[in-house]
């Protein structure tokens, strides 16, 4: 990114503390500073509880930070959350679709909610349904969809408003290999069409396959940043396999910071997954989705 270019997303010394009843506040994010350049796929990688969803929620204004700022295309989310949301398409970790409505109804409702002009609604809904390969199932109740189909529909919903910046929070969690391939294909297409994608993931393979740049979070702290090749060169295989140094039952602590060789695979660390087969069908895309009212 050239120095004069405005980042698509900019985290500046971002801090998030959650109060707890009988102990000190939980620090979910500690001075996170990151720039995501326009037109790139940026991967935010980290184990459970490392702060990925918290970062996304701060980015869309669903949470208010306890320090620092987040800017989307130069706009501070605290100054103008509406303008920020207009620029964002978000697929949240929980898809928050209306199970009793069909795909078509979910998308039409969302289009109305987000001010897509009436004359364009039908065309846009059709486009995104085609994009995610759900056109034939458009009339079916979403509650009857498989997990992967729901993920794809959430992506379609996020793309309805044609956002410049697409945020995907663990888009392929629990998704089968085929649907994952389709989602990856869509993510690549968003970027090749000039969009910016911020993708959070637990999967090392996913981050390496998709991201132009990667940041690794652990316990709310940024521990490494670079291109997948740079990180591989710098961190080697320990990047994937090292067990965390801070014992914390039930959590993963991520790797790279320590870099000690010979560690065993940790269920908490970013996981490696077999890459999907060469992408088949097409998939859909996302939008800022506050969930059902
Ligand atoms: N609303 C909340 N209140 C209290 N603590 C929270 C809240 N939201 C998140 N946390 C805590 O903040 C930390 C970071 O959580 P976050 O959901 O951002 O992790 P994550 O990286 O998205 O994890 P996962 O991979 O499991 O989705 C965790 O310790 C979590 O318990
Ligand atoms: Mg999360």
> Which of 52, 168, 170 for mutating ligand 1's site (highest number of atoms within 8 Å of CB)?
52
Q: What pLDDT is stored for residue 93 in this prediction?
A: 86
Per-residue burial over 37-67, b = 16 or more CB atoms within 10 Å of its CB, e = otherwise: bbbbbbbbbbbebbbbbbbbbbbbbbbebbe
| 286 within ligand 1 shell (Cβ under 6 A) | no
Q: How far is the CA of 167 from the centre of ligand 2 (A)?
A: 12
% residues pLDDT > 90 (the chain):
56
Q: What is the pLDDT at residue 288? A: 34
Domain 9-96+164-241 grouped into CATH 3.40.630.10: no
Give the per-residue pLDDT at 236.
61
Instruction: Enter the tokens of residue 99.
Output: 């199970």
Say how far apart CA 17 and CA 219 lie, in whole Å: 12
The ligand whose atoms approach the alpha carbon of 49 most closely is 1
Residue 285 has pLDDT above 70, yes or no: no
Mean pLDDT in residue range 48-68? 95
Report the separation in Å between the CA atom of 28 and the middle of ligand 1, taken as the mean of its atom positions: 7
pLDDT (0 to 100) of residue 282: 36
- Determine whether the shortest distance from the Cβ of 26 to ligand 1 is under 6 A: yes
Which of 50, 59, 271 gets mutated to test ligand 1 (max ligand atoms within 8 A of its CB)? 50
Domains in the chain: boundaries: 9-96+164-241
Whole-prediction pTM value? 0.80
Q: Do 206 and 174 touch, CB atoms closer than 8 A?
A: no
Other Cβ atoms within 10 Å of 273 Cβ, number = 16
Closest C-alpha to ligand 1, atom 3: 18
Q: Relative to the alpha carbon of 201, which ligand is closest? A: 1
First to last CA, the chain: 39
Q: Which is nearest to 91 in space by CA: 290, 293, 275?
A: 290
Pocket of ligand 1 contains residue 51 by CB under 6 Å: yes
**Is the distance from the beta carbon of residue 154 to the nearest atom of ligand 1 less than 6 Å?**
no
């Amino acid at each position: 990114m050239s120095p004069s270019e405005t980042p698509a997303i900019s985290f500046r010394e971002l801090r998030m503390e959650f109060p707890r009843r009988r102990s000190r506040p939980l620090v979910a994010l500690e001075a996170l500073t990151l720039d995501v350049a326009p037109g790139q796929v940026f991967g935010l990688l980290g184990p459970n509880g490392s702060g990925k969803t918290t970062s996304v929620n701060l980015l869309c204004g669903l949470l208010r930070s306890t320090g620092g700022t987040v800017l989307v295309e130069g706009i501070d989310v605290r100054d103008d959350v509406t303008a920020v949301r207009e620029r964002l398409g978000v697929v949240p970790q929980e898809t928050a679709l209306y199970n009793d409505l069909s795909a078509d109804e979910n998308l039409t409702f969302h289009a109305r909610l987000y001010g897509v002009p009436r004359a364009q609604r039908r065309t846009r809904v059709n486009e995104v349904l085609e994009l995610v390969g759900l056109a034939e199932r458009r009339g079916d109740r979403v509650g009857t969809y498989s997990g992967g189909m729901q993920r794809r529909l959430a992506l379609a919903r996020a793309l309805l408003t044609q956002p410049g910046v697409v945020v995907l929070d663990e888009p392929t969690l629990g998704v089968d290999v085929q649907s994952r391939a389709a989602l990856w294909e869509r993510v690549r297409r968003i970027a090749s069409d000039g969009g910016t994608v911020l993708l959070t993931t637990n999967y090392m393979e996913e981050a390496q396959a998709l991201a132009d740049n990667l940041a690794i979070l652990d316990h709310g702290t940024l521990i490494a940043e670079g291109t997948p090749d740079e990180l591989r060169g710098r961190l080697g295989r320990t990047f994937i396999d090292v067990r965390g140094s801070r014992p914390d039952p039930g959590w993963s602590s991520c790797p790279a910071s320590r870099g000690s060789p010979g560690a065993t695979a940790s269920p908490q660390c970013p996981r490696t997954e077999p890459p999907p087969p060469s992408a088949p069908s097409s998939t859909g895309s996302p939008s800022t989705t506050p969930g059902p009212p």
